[in-house]
Amino acid sequence: MAKFELKLPKMGESVAEATIASWLKDVGDTIEMDDPVLEIATDKVDSEVPSEVDGVLVERFFNVDDVVQVGQVLAIIETEADNDSIDNSNEEVSVNVKESEDEAVQHVVQTVNIAKETVAPMISSGDRFYSPLVKNIAKAEGITQVELDGISGTGKDGRVTKNDILDYIQNRGHSQQPVVAKIESPATSIKTIEKPITEKPTVVSSGEDEIIEMTRMGKLIAHHMVESVQTSAHVQSFIEADVTNIWNWRKKVKDGFMEREGENLTFTPIFMEVIAKALRDYPMMNISLQGDTIVKKKNINLGMAAALPDGNLIVPVIKNADQLNLVGMAKQVNDLAKRARENKLKLDEIQGGTYTVTNVGTFGSIMGTPIINQPQVGILALGAIRKVPAVIETSEGDFIGIRYKMFLSHSYDHRVVNGALGGQFVKAVTDYLEAWDVNREI
Protein backbone atom coordinates (compact mmCIF):
# COMPACT_ATOMS: atom_id res chain seq x y z
CA MET A 1 0.00 0.00 0.00
CA ALA A 2 1.15 3.52 -0.70
CA LYS A 3 -0.10 6.97 0.09
CA PHE A 4 -0.53 9.60 -2.61
CA GLU A 5 -0.61 13.31 -1.74
CA LEU A 6 -3.25 15.16 -3.74
CA LYS A 7 -1.99 18.74 -4.05
CA LEU A 8 -3.53 21.95 -5.31
CA PRO A 9 -2.20 22.15 -8.87
CA LYS A 10 -0.53 25.19 -10.38
CA MET A 11 -3.17 27.31 -12.08
CA GLY A 12 -1.20 29.97 -13.95
CA GLU A 13 1.31 32.67 -13.12
CA SER A 14 -1.26 35.02 -11.59
CA VAL A 15 -3.10 32.42 -9.48
CA ALA A 16 -1.42 31.52 -6.19
CA GLU A 17 -4.35 30.23 -4.16
CA ALA A 18 -7.87 28.87 -4.32
CA THR A 19 -10.85 28.46 -2.00
CA ILE A 20 -12.32 25.05 -1.27
CA ALA A 21 -15.86 25.27 -2.69
CA SER A 22 -16.99 21.72 -1.89
CA TRP A 23 -15.72 18.19 -1.33
CA LEU A 24 -17.07 15.67 -3.83
CA LYS A 25 -15.57 12.67 -2.02
CA ASP A 26 -15.73 11.70 1.65
CA VAL A 27 -13.10 9.89 3.68
CA GLY A 28 -13.45 6.18 2.93
CA ASP A 29 -14.74 6.67 -0.61
CA THR A 30 -13.16 4.68 -3.44
CA ILE A 31 -11.70 6.92 -6.12
CA GLU A 32 -10.73 6.15 -9.67
CA MET A 33 -8.11 8.02 -11.67
CA ASP A 34 -9.48 11.33 -13.07
CA ASP A 35 -12.45 11.27 -10.68
CA PRO A 36 -13.09 14.81 -9.36
CA VAL A 37 -12.30 14.89 -5.65
CA LEU A 38 -13.20 18.48 -4.80
CA GLU A 39 -14.29 21.76 -6.31
CA ILE A 40 -12.16 24.88 -5.97
CA ALA A 41 -12.81 28.53 -6.71
CA THR A 42 -10.42 31.32 -7.66
CA ASP A 43 -11.09 34.96 -8.50
CA LYS A 44 -11.32 33.86 -12.14
CA VAL A 45 -13.13 30.56 -12.40
CA ASP A 46 -14.48 27.55 -10.51
CA SER A 47 -12.98 24.15 -11.30
CA GLU A 48 -12.60 20.56 -10.14
CA VAL A 49 -9.43 18.86 -8.88
CA PRO A 50 -9.26 15.29 -10.21
CA SER A 51 -7.41 12.36 -8.69
CA GLU A 52 -4.22 11.24 -10.39
CA VAL A 53 -4.45 7.68 -9.03
CA ASP A 54 -6.89 4.89 -8.14
CA GLY A 55 -7.39 4.38 -4.43
CA VAL A 56 -9.32 5.23 -1.28
CA LEU A 57 -9.56 8.71 0.26
CA VAL A 58 -8.17 8.34 3.76
CA GLU A 59 -7.62 11.93 4.91
CA ARG A 60 -8.73 15.48 4.08
CA PHE A 61 -6.72 18.46 5.33
CA PHE A 62 -9.03 21.38 4.60
CA ASN A 63 -12.65 22.33 5.07
CA VAL A 64 -15.07 24.11 2.76
CA ASP A 65 -14.23 27.85 2.45
CA ASP A 66 -10.60 27.32 3.47
CA VAL A 67 -8.05 29.16 1.32
CA VAL A 68 -5.29 26.89 0.02
CA GLN A 69 -1.97 27.81 -1.57
CA VAL A 70 -0.78 26.22 -4.80
CA GLY A 71 1.27 23.13 -3.93
CA GLN A 72 -0.33 22.47 -0.55
CA VAL A 73 -1.54 18.92 0.15
CA LEU A 74 -5.32 18.73 -0.02
CA ALA A 75 -5.86 15.08 0.80
CA ILE A 76 -4.25 11.65 1.10
CA ILE A 77 -5.31 8.80 -1.20
CA GLU A 78 -4.23 5.27 -0.30
CA THR A 79 -3.34 3.18 -3.33
CA GLU A 80 -2.39 -0.41 -4.08
CA ALA A 81 0.82 0.65 -5.82
CA ASP A 82 4.29 0.70 -4.31
CA ASN A 83 5.71 4.01 -3.13
CA ASP A 84 8.37 3.93 -5.87
CA SER A 85 5.76 3.67 -8.61
CA ILE A 86 3.96 6.88 -7.65
CA ASP A 87 5.38 10.09 -9.00
CA ASN A 88 4.55 12.22 -6.01
CA SER A 89 6.78 14.40 -3.87
CA ASN A 90 6.70 13.76 -0.12
CA GLU A 91 8.40 17.02 0.64
CA GLU A 92 6.63 19.05 3.28
CA VAL A 93 4.79 22.01 1.80
CA SER A 94 5.17 24.89 4.22
CA VAL A 95 3.08 28.04 4.26
CA ASN A 96 5.51 30.90 3.84
CA VAL A 97 3.69 34.18 3.82
CA LYS A 98 6.82 36.11 2.96
CA GLU A 99 7.34 34.16 -0.28
CA SER A 100 3.74 33.86 -1.41
CA GLU A 101 2.63 37.46 -0.95
CA ASP A 102 3.55 40.58 -2.84
CA GLU A 103 6.38 42.91 -1.95
CA ALA A 104 4.23 45.12 0.25
CA VAL A 105 3.21 42.22 2.48
CA GLN A 106 6.77 40.89 2.52
CA HIS A 107 7.84 44.02 4.38
CA VAL A 108 5.20 44.07 7.12
CA VAL A 109 6.54 44.85 10.56
CA GLN A 110 7.86 41.73 12.31
CA THR A 111 6.48 40.84 15.73
CA VAL A 112 9.13 40.69 18.44
CA ASN A 113 10.88 37.33 18.72
CA ILE A 114 9.57 36.61 22.17
CA ALA A 115 6.01 36.64 20.89
CA LYS A 116 6.83 34.15 18.15
CA GLU A 117 8.47 31.80 20.61
CA THR A 118 5.75 31.85 23.25
CA VAL A 119 2.50 32.24 21.34
CA ALA A 120 0.08 29.42 22.05
CA PRO A 121 -1.31 27.26 19.21
CA MET A 122 -4.31 28.85 17.50
CA ILE A 123 -7.62 27.11 18.14
CA SER A 124 -11.15 27.44 16.77
CA SER A 125 -13.83 27.88 19.37
CA GLY A 126 -17.52 28.60 19.38
CA ASP A 127 -18.48 30.43 16.22
CA ARG A 128 -14.88 31.38 15.46
CA PHE A 129 -13.50 28.88 12.93
CA TYR A 130 -9.95 29.40 11.61
CA SER A 131 -8.58 27.64 8.55
CA PRO A 132 -5.15 25.96 8.71
CA LEU A 133 -3.75 28.74 6.51
CA VAL A 134 -4.96 31.47 8.86
CA LYS A 135 -3.58 29.57 11.86
CA ASN A 136 -0.19 29.15 10.20
CA ILE A 137 0.00 32.84 9.33
CA ALA A 138 -0.96 33.76 12.89
CA LYS A 139 1.70 31.44 14.29
CA ALA A 140 4.39 32.74 11.91
CA GLU A 141 3.61 36.35 12.81
CA GLY A 142 3.32 35.82 16.57
CA ILE A 143 -0.36 36.70 16.75
CA THR A 144 -2.01 35.66 19.99
CA GLN A 145 -5.34 33.89 20.34
CA VAL A 146 -6.83 37.07 21.82
CA GLU A 147 -5.68 39.10 18.83
CA LEU A 148 -6.95 36.54 16.35
CA ASP A 149 -10.36 36.42 18.05
CA GLY A 150 -10.52 40.20 17.74
CA ILE A 151 -10.03 40.31 13.96
CA SER A 152 -13.24 40.96 12.03
CA GLY A 153 -13.74 38.40 9.28
CA THR A 154 -15.06 39.16 5.80
CA GLY A 155 -15.47 35.52 4.81
CA LYS A 156 -18.58 33.38 4.87
CA ASP A 157 -20.35 33.55 8.25
CA GLY A 158 -17.79 36.12 9.39
CA ARG A 159 -14.79 33.82 9.03
CA VAL A 160 -11.32 35.36 9.06
CA THR A 161 -9.79 35.03 5.60
CA LYS A 162 -6.17 35.19 4.52
CA ASN A 163 -6.67 38.77 3.35
CA ASP A 164 -8.21 39.75 6.70
CA ILE A 165 -5.24 38.55 8.70
CA LEU A 166 -2.70 39.96 6.23
CA ASP A 167 -4.43 43.36 6.36
CA TYR A 168 -4.26 43.16 10.14
CA ILE A 169 -0.55 42.33 10.05
CA GLN A 170 0.21 45.11 7.57
CA ASN A 171 -1.66 47.74 9.60
CA ARG A 172 -0.59 46.66 13.07
CA GLY A 173 1.06 49.45 14.92
CA HIS A 174 -0.70 52.13 12.86
CA SER A 175 -3.96 52.16 14.82
CA GLN A 176 -4.78 55.09 17.03
CA GLN A 177 -6.49 52.77 19.53
CA PRO A 178 -3.97 50.19 20.70
CA VAL A 179 -4.84 47.38 23.03
CA VAL A 180 -2.26 45.78 25.30
CA ALA A 181 -1.70 42.03 25.00
CA LYS A 182 0.46 40.30 27.60
CA ILE A 183 2.32 37.08 26.79
CA GLU A 184 4.04 35.07 29.49
CA SER A 185 7.28 33.39 28.48
CA PRO A 186 8.67 30.18 29.95
CA ALA A 187 11.30 32.27 31.69
CA THR A 188 8.46 33.90 33.77
CA SER A 189 9.14 37.27 32.18
CA ILE A 190 6.22 39.24 30.74
CA LYS A 191 6.43 41.01 27.42
CA THR A 192 3.95 43.73 26.46
CA ILE A 193 3.06 44.32 22.85
CA GLU A 194 0.73 46.97 21.45
CA LYS A 195 -1.91 45.68 19.03
CA PRO A 196 -4.44 47.60 16.96
CA ILE A 197 -8.14 47.05 17.32
CA THR A 198 -9.75 46.06 14.03
CA GLU A 199 -13.38 47.10 13.81
CA LYS A 200 -15.86 45.86 11.22
CA PRO A 201 -17.53 48.80 9.46
CA THR A 202 -21.06 49.42 10.66
CA VAL A 203 -23.75 48.95 8.02
CA VAL A 204 -25.98 52.05 8.10
CA SER A 205 -29.40 51.73 6.50
CA SER A 206 -32.97 52.85 6.92
CA GLY A 207 -35.78 50.46 7.63
CA GLU A 208 -36.65 50.29 3.94
CA ASP A 209 -33.14 49.53 2.65
CA GLU A 210 -32.17 46.06 1.47
CA ILE A 211 -28.85 44.68 2.74
CA ILE A 212 -27.18 42.46 0.11
CA GLU A 213 -24.08 40.44 0.87
CA MET A 214 -21.46 40.54 -1.89
CA THR A 215 -20.93 37.23 -3.65
CA ARG A 216 -17.67 35.38 -3.25
CA MET A 217 -16.64 36.20 -6.81
CA GLY A 218 -17.73 39.80 -6.34
CA LYS A 219 -15.45 40.15 -3.32
CA LEU A 220 -12.53 38.59 -5.17
CA ILE A 221 -13.02 40.81 -8.22
CA ALA A 222 -13.26 43.89 -5.99
CA HIS A 223 -9.99 42.96 -4.29
CA HIS A 224 -8.34 42.27 -7.66
CA MET A 225 -9.42 45.66 -9.04
CA VAL A 226 -8.25 47.63 -6.00
CA GLU A 227 -4.95 45.76 -6.03
CA SER A 228 -4.44 46.61 -9.72
CA VAL A 229 -5.05 50.33 -9.18
CA GLN A 230 -2.66 50.31 -6.23
CA THR A 231 -0.02 48.45 -8.26
CA SER A 232 -0.04 50.18 -11.66
CA ALA A 233 0.14 53.84 -12.61
CA HIS A 234 -2.95 53.91 -14.82
CA VAL A 235 -3.09 56.38 -17.69
CA GLN A 236 -5.44 56.48 -20.69
CA SER A 237 -5.36 57.40 -24.36
CA PHE A 238 -8.57 57.83 -26.39
CA ILE A 239 -9.08 57.76 -30.13
CA GLU A 240 -12.09 57.67 -32.45
CA ALA A 241 -12.14 55.14 -35.29
CA ASP A 242 -14.24 55.20 -38.43
CA VAL A 243 -15.47 51.62 -38.86
CA THR A 244 -17.87 52.23 -41.74
CA ASN A 245 -15.98 49.82 -44.01
CA ILE A 246 -16.14 47.08 -41.37
CA TRP A 247 -19.83 47.71 -40.74
CA ASN A 248 -20.72 47.43 -44.41
CA TRP A 249 -18.43 44.46 -45.05
CA ARG A 250 -19.80 42.44 -42.13
CA LYS A 251 -23.37 43.19 -43.21
CA LYS A 252 -22.52 41.82 -46.65
CA VAL A 253 -20.82 38.56 -45.55
CA LYS A 254 -22.43 37.57 -42.22
CA ASP A 255 -25.31 35.54 -43.72
CA GLY A 256 -22.99 33.55 -45.97
CA PHE A 257 -20.62 33.01 -43.04
CA MET A 258 -23.44 31.60 -40.92
CA GLU A 259 -24.57 29.31 -43.72
CA ARG A 260 -21.07 28.01 -44.39
CA GLU A 261 -19.54 27.90 -40.89
CA GLY A 262 -22.60 27.61 -38.67
CA GLU A 263 -21.27 30.53 -36.60
CA ASN A 264 -22.32 34.12 -36.03
CA LEU A 265 -19.80 36.65 -37.32
CA THR A 266 -19.82 39.37 -34.68
CA PHE A 267 -17.58 42.42 -34.55
CA THR A 268 -15.49 40.94 -31.71
CA PRO A 269 -13.33 38.53 -33.77
CA ILE A 270 -12.67 41.34 -36.27
CA PHE A 271 -11.44 43.59 -33.48
CA MET A 272 -9.39 40.76 -31.95
CA GLU A 273 -7.64 40.09 -35.26
CA VAL A 274 -6.75 43.76 -35.63
CA ILE A 275 -5.51 44.10 -32.02
CA ALA A 276 -3.31 41.00 -32.42
CA LYS A 277 -1.73 42.60 -35.50
CA ALA A 278 -1.04 45.81 -33.57
CA LEU A 279 0.55 43.86 -30.71
CA ARG A 280 2.82 42.19 -33.22
CA ASP A 281 3.83 45.66 -34.44
CA TYR A 282 4.34 46.94 -30.88
CA PRO A 283 5.70 43.99 -28.86
CA MET A 284 6.49 46.17 -25.85
CA MET A 285 2.76 46.33 -25.20
CA ASN A 286 2.79 42.53 -24.93
CA ILE A 287 4.78 42.42 -21.69
CA SER A 288 4.40 42.00 -17.96
CA LEU A 289 6.23 43.67 -15.10
CA GLN A 290 7.59 41.59 -12.23
CA GLY A 291 9.26 43.82 -9.68
CA ASP A 292 11.86 45.76 -11.65
CA THR A 293 12.04 43.16 -14.41
CA ILE A 294 10.18 43.34 -17.72
CA VAL A 295 9.04 40.03 -19.21
CA LYS A 296 8.57 40.29 -22.97
CA LYS A 297 6.01 37.68 -23.97
CA LYS A 298 6.68 35.45 -26.95
CA ASN A 299 3.03 34.56 -27.55
CA ILE A 300 0.14 36.94 -28.09
CA ASN A 301 -2.65 35.65 -25.85
CA LEU A 302 -5.69 37.93 -25.90
CA GLY A 303 -7.96 38.06 -22.87
CA MET A 304 -11.59 38.69 -23.78
CA ALA A 305 -13.73 40.08 -20.96
CA ALA A 306 -17.10 38.29 -20.98
CA ALA A 307 -20.18 39.07 -18.90
CA LEU A 308 -21.65 36.35 -16.69
CA PRO A 309 -25.38 35.94 -15.97
CA ASP A 310 -24.88 37.29 -12.41
CA GLY A 311 -23.33 40.51 -13.71
CA ASN A 312 -19.73 39.61 -12.91
CA LEU A 313 -17.03 39.39 -15.56
CA ILE A 314 -14.61 36.64 -16.51
CA VAL A 315 -11.70 36.82 -18.92
CA PRO A 316 -11.20 33.74 -21.13
CA VAL A 317 -8.00 33.81 -23.16
CA ILE A 318 -7.51 33.27 -26.90
CA LYS A 319 -4.05 31.68 -27.13
CA ASN A 320 -1.71 32.63 -30.01
CA ALA A 321 -4.34 35.01 -31.37
CA ASP A 322 -2.01 36.39 -34.05
CA GLN A 323 -1.82 32.94 -35.67
CA LEU A 324 -5.57 32.57 -36.21
CA ASN A 325 -7.41 33.51 -39.37
CA LEU A 326 -10.78 35.25 -39.05
CA VAL A 327 -12.74 31.99 -39.23
CA GLY A 328 -10.67 30.47 -36.43
CA MET A 329 -10.91 33.66 -34.39
CA ALA A 330 -14.71 33.74 -34.74
CA LYS A 331 -15.04 30.12 -33.64
CA GLN A 332 -12.78 30.71 -30.62
CA VAL A 333 -14.62 33.87 -29.60
CA ASN A 334 -18.06 32.27 -29.86
CA ASP A 335 -17.01 29.08 -28.07
CA LEU A 336 -15.32 30.84 -25.15
CA ALA A 337 -18.16 33.35 -24.74
CA LYS A 338 -20.78 30.58 -24.73
CA ARG A 339 -18.96 28.42 -22.19
CA ALA A 340 -18.21 31.46 -20.03
CA ARG A 341 -21.95 32.15 -19.76
CA GLU A 342 -22.53 28.49 -18.86
CA ASN A 343 -19.67 28.48 -16.31
CA LYS A 344 -17.96 25.66 -18.20
CA LEU A 345 -14.54 27.20 -18.79
CA LYS A 346 -11.45 25.22 -17.84
CA LEU A 347 -8.68 26.69 -15.71
CA ASP A 348 -6.17 26.82 -18.54
CA GLU A 349 -8.67 28.80 -20.63
CA ILE A 350 -8.57 31.78 -18.27
CA GLN A 351 -4.80 31.79 -17.75
CA GLY A 352 -1.79 33.09 -19.60
CA GLY A 353 -3.30 36.25 -21.07
CA THR A 354 -0.80 38.87 -22.23
CA TYR A 355 -3.22 41.68 -23.16
CA THR A 356 -6.93 42.17 -22.48
CA VAL A 357 -9.84 43.57 -24.51
CA THR A 358 -13.19 44.58 -23.03
CA ASN A 359 -16.24 45.61 -25.04
CA VAL A 360 -18.00 48.30 -23.01
CA GLY A 361 -20.13 49.06 -26.08
CA THR A 362 -22.13 45.93 -25.31
CA PHE A 363 -23.77 47.89 -22.50
CA GLY A 364 -24.26 51.05 -24.58
CA SER A 365 -21.20 52.93 -23.31
CA ILE A 366 -19.34 54.98 -25.90
CA MET A 367 -16.07 54.77 -23.95
CA GLY A 368 -14.61 53.68 -20.63
CA THR A 369 -11.46 53.69 -18.51
CA PRO A 370 -10.83 49.98 -17.85
CA ILE A 371 -8.60 48.70 -15.06
CA ILE A 372 -5.51 46.74 -16.09
CA ASN A 373 -5.67 42.97 -15.64
CA GLN A 374 -2.49 42.27 -13.65
CA PRO A 375 0.27 41.40 -14.37
CA GLN A 376 -0.40 42.73 -17.88
CA VAL A 377 0.38 46.36 -18.74
CA GLY A 378 -2.51 47.28 -21.04
CA ILE A 379 -6.22 46.86 -21.67
CA LEU A 380 -8.33 48.22 -24.53
CA ALA A 381 -12.00 49.17 -24.14
CA LEU A 382 -14.18 49.12 -27.26
CA GLY A 383 -17.04 51.61 -27.23
CA ALA A 384 -20.42 51.33 -28.92
CA ILE A 385 -20.53 51.76 -32.70
CA ARG A 386 -22.63 54.83 -33.51
CA LYS A 387 -24.00 56.31 -36.71
CA VAL A 388 -22.83 59.96 -36.67
CA PRO A 389 -22.42 62.93 -39.03
CA ALA A 390 -18.81 63.37 -40.04
CA VAL A 391 -16.62 65.50 -42.30
CA ILE A 392 -15.46 63.41 -45.26
CA GLU A 393 -12.40 64.59 -47.16
CA THR A 394 -12.22 63.91 -50.89
CA SER A 395 -10.16 65.16 -53.82
CA GLU A 396 -13.15 67.24 -54.81
CA GLY A 397 -13.48 68.88 -51.40
CA ASP A 398 -14.98 68.19 -47.99
CA PHE A 399 -18.58 67.29 -47.32
CA ILE A 400 -20.76 66.00 -44.48
CA GLY A 401 -21.77 62.36 -44.53
CA ILE A 402 -23.10 59.62 -42.23
CA ARG A 403 -20.38 57.34 -40.87
CA TYR A 404 -20.15 54.51 -38.33
CA LYS A 405 -17.69 55.45 -35.59
CA MET A 406 -16.53 54.19 -32.22
CA PHE A 407 -14.17 55.28 -29.45
CA LEU A 408 -11.22 53.16 -28.33
CA SER A 409 -10.04 53.69 -24.74
CA HIS A 410 -6.55 52.41 -23.99
CA SER A 411 -5.48 52.05 -20.32
CA TYR A 412 -1.82 51.25 -19.79
CA ASP A 413 0.76 51.02 -17.02
CA HIS A 414 2.72 54.26 -17.06
CA ARG A 415 5.56 52.66 -15.09
CA VAL A 416 6.72 50.89 -18.25
CA VAL A 417 4.54 52.23 -21.08
CA ASN A 418 5.04 55.91 -21.89
CA GLY A 419 2.46 58.10 -23.61
CA ALA A 420 4.12 57.73 -27.00
CA LEU A 421 3.94 53.93 -27.01
CA GLY A 422 0.45 53.85 -25.51
CA GLY A 423 -0.81 56.32 -28.10
CA GLN A 424 1.00 54.74 -31.04
CA PHE A 425 -0.44 51.33 -30.23
CA VAL A 426 -4.08 52.45 -30.14
CA LYS A 427 -3.47 54.53 -33.28
CA ALA A 428 -2.20 51.40 -35.03
CA VAL A 429 -5.39 49.57 -34.05
CA THR A 430 -7.42 52.44 -35.48
CA ASP A 431 -5.44 52.48 -38.73
CA TYR A 432 -6.05 48.76 -39.24
CA LEU A 433 -9.77 49.21 -38.59
CA GLU A 434 -10.14 52.13 -40.97
CA ALA A 435 -8.14 50.41 -43.72
CA TRP A 436 -10.37 47.31 -43.72
CA ASP A 437 -10.68 45.81 -47.21
CA VAL A 438 -14.36 45.93 -48.22
CA ASN A 439 -13.64 43.30 -50.89
CA ARG A 440 -12.04 40.84 -48.49
CA GLU A 441 -13.10 37.22 -48.88
CA ILE A 442 -13.59 34.94 -45.91
Interstrand relation of 302-304 and 355-358 (parallel, antiparallel or unpaired): parallel
| pLDDT over 80 (residue 28) | yes
> What pLDDT, on a 0 to 100 scale, did the predictor assign at position 191?
42
Q: Could you tell me what percent of the chain has a pLDDT over 90?
A: 50
| pLDDT over 70 (residue 187) | no
Measure the CA angle with vertex 351, ends 347 and 352; round to 5°: 150
| pLDDT over 90 (residue 270) | yes
The DSSP secondary-structure symbol of 64 reads T
Residue, of 276 and 32, whose pLDDT is higher:
276
Residue 244, CA distances (Å) to 254, 255, 348, 386, 442 in order: 15, 18, 36, 10, 18
Say which residues have a Cβ less than 8 Å from residue 258's Cβ, sequence separation at least 6.
264, 265
The model carries a pTM of 0.62
Residue, of 392 and 99, whose pLDDT is higher:
392
Q: Tell me which of 214-223, 310-319, 351-360 is least confident.
A: 214-223
Task: Give the DSSP letter string of 392-436.
Answer: EEETTEEEEEEEEEEEEEEEEETTT--HHHHHHHHHHHHHHHHT-
| pLDDT over 70 (residue 186) | no
Per-residue pLDDT reduced to its tens digit, 110-156: 443 433 343 445 555 545 667 767 777 887 788 888 788 888 887 76
Per-residue pLDDT reduced to its tens digit, 391-415: 998 889 999 999 999 999 999 999 9
Domains and CATH numbers, the chain: 2-93 (2.40.50.100), 101-196 (no CATH), 234-434 (3.30.559.10)
